[in-house]
């Protein structure tokens, strides 16, 4: 008997096309407002478009949540066909998307929003967990409840190499950027998995290769109960050499069954800029 549950997620889950197809996930794009026009994340605009515009104008786009009516428009066809929907949202501290999805759920019924309390593949890890629960025959309600309970087990962090995007977005001052550049400081941005808010963790110094090596080692040593199923290397447009470097570090440790590489969506990339990379995984 078919389990009539559909899995959807905000585009900010940053899963590749192949992973979305594998886990039968339908995404709903956030908005990128740039130069007086509104674009749909990854459908009408790419991170490289944003970087090109920033290089030419020095301005960054504004990102906007999926509104309630857009959720209704996207999810109502499934409800009309007799399905229930589990939807995994970008962390509620980062966007109004979760609240808007909850509003849509109240109007439609049969919609079960999950606050991922995370971003990027920190949310994507929970999407995969939800997909696996659905494949095991769990109901939409049970899937959403179990996935929500795992949000605090999803760990996301990133090393930011270039602080100009944080400055342009109002997240640090020009003086701080100048000082960081002079000293070679590369901050670790950590996600609070109780709500999705971000804060600056350790500030590393030195060449990016060295920093990423230390960062990976320290992130893995923070937890003694790592879920070894998978780890994501997610970046915002960094060189293949850096991706390979981190991949090789993880591969040689023989901790994870899967090492998955993804590139961040426009929403995430516009806030951190290129040459940003993180590893994201779950604990038990």
The vertex-108 CA angle with 102 and 112, nearest 5°, equals 45
Residues 95 and 160 in one domain: no
Element (H, E) at 157: strand 157-160
- For the stretch 108-142, pLDDT in tens is 999 999 999 999 999 999 999 999 999 999 999 99
Partner residues linked to 111 by β-bridges? 85
For residue 89, pLDDT beyond 60: yes
- Return the structure tokens found at 240: 């293949």
What pLDDT was estimated at residue 220? 97
What pLDDT was estimated at residue 272? 86
Residues 86 and 50 in one domain: yes
Q: What is the mean pLDDT of residues 231-245?
A: 97
What pLDDT was estimated at residue 43? 95
- Return the structure tokens found at 105: 């759920």
Cβ atoms of residues 117 and 149 within 8 Å: no
Partner residues linked to 89 by β-bridges? 115
pLDDT tier at 27, thresholds 50, 70, 90: very high
C-alpha–C-alpha distance, residues 49 and 281, integer Å? 29
Q: Determine how β-strand 226-235 pairs with β-strand 258-263.
A: parallel
Residues 209 and 243 in one domain: yes
Q: Determine how β-strand 37-40 pairs with β-strand 31-34.
A: antiparallel
Residues 44 and 158 in one domain: no
Length of the chain counted residue by residue: 284
- Return the structure tokens found at 175: 């003086």
Q: Look up residue 261 and give its DSSP letter.
A: E
pLDDT tier at 236, thresholds 50, 70, 90: very high
Which stretches of 196-275 are assigned E, i.e. beta strand?
Answer: 198-205, 226-235, 258-263
What SS3 state is found at 4?
coil
The domain spanning residue 205 has which CATH number?
3.30.1180.10
Q: Determine how β-strand 5-10 pairs with β-strand 111-115.
A: unpaired
For residue 183, pLDDT beyond 70: no
In this prediction the pTM is 0.94
Say how many domains are in the chain. Answer: 2
What percent of the chain is predicted at pLDDT more than 90? Answer: 83
- Return the structure tokens found at 59: 């301005």
Q: Determine how β-strand 25-28 pairs with β-strand 5-10.
A: parallel
Q: Determine how β-strand 37-40 pairs with β-strand 62-64.
A: unpaired
Last residue within a domain, chosen from 114, 129, 151: 151
pLDDT tier at 48, thresholds 50, 70, 90: very high
Residues 258 and 273 in one domain: yes
Residues 160 and 277 in one domain: yes
Last residue within a domain, chosen from 93, 120, 151: 151
- Phi, psi dihedrals of residue 202, rounded to the nearest 5°: -65, 145
Which stretches of 75-121 are assigned E, i.e. beta strand?
Answer: 84-89, 111-115
Which domain does 264 fall in, by range?
154-283
Residues 21 and 140 in one domain: yes
* DSSP output for 160-213: ES-THHHHHTTSS-HHHHHHHHHHTEEEEEEE-TTT--EEEEEEEES-HHHHHH
Q: Look up residue 151 and give its DSSP letter.
A: G
Residues 168 and 104 in one domain: no
Residues 129 and 164 in one domain: no
- Please give the residue that has the higher pLDDT: either 84 or 189: 84
The domain spanning residue 106 has which CATH number?
3.40.50.10170
C-alpha–C-alpha distance, residues 86 and 126, integer Å? 11
Residues 218 and 90 in one domain: no
Residues 226 and 140 in one domain: no
Q: What is the mean pLDDT of residues 62-82?
A: 97
Residues 187 and 121 in one domain: no
């Amino acid at each position: 008997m078919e389990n009539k549950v559909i899995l959807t997620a905000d585009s900010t889950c940053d899963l590749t096309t192949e992973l979305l197809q594998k886990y039968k996930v339908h995404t709903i794009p956030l908005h990128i407002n740039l130069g007086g026009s509104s674009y749909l994340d990854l459908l009408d605009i790419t991170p490289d478009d944003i970087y090109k515009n920033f290089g030419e104008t020095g301005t960054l786009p504004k990102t906007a949540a999926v509104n309630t009516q857009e959720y209704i428009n996207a999810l109502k066809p499934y409800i009309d066909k007799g399905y229930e929907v589990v939807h995994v949202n970008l962390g509620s501290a980062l966007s109004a998307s979760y609240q808007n999805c909850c509003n849509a759920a109240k109007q439609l019924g049969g919609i079960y929003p999950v606050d991922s309390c995370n971003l990027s593949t920190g949310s994507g890890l929970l999407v995969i967990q939800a997909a696996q629960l659905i494949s095991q025959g769990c109901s939409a309600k049970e899937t959403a409840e179990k996935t929500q309970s795992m949000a605090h087990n999803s760990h996301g962090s990133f090393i930011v190499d270039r602080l100009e995007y944080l400055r342009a977005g109002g997240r640090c001052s020009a003086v701080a950027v100048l000082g960081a550049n002079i000293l070679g400081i590369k901050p670790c941005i950590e996600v609070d998995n109780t709500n999705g808010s971000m804060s600056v963790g350790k500030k590393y110094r030195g060449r990016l290769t060295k920093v990423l090596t230390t960062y990976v080692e320290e992130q893995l040593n923070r937890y003694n109960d790592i879920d070894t199923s998978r780890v994501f290397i997610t970046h915002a447009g960094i060189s293949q050499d850096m991706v390979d470097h981190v991949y090789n570090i993880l591969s040689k440790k023989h901790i994870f069954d899967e090492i998955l590489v993804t590139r961040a969506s426009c929403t995430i990339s516009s806030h951190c800029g290129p040459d940003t990379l993180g590893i994201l995984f779950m604990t038990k």
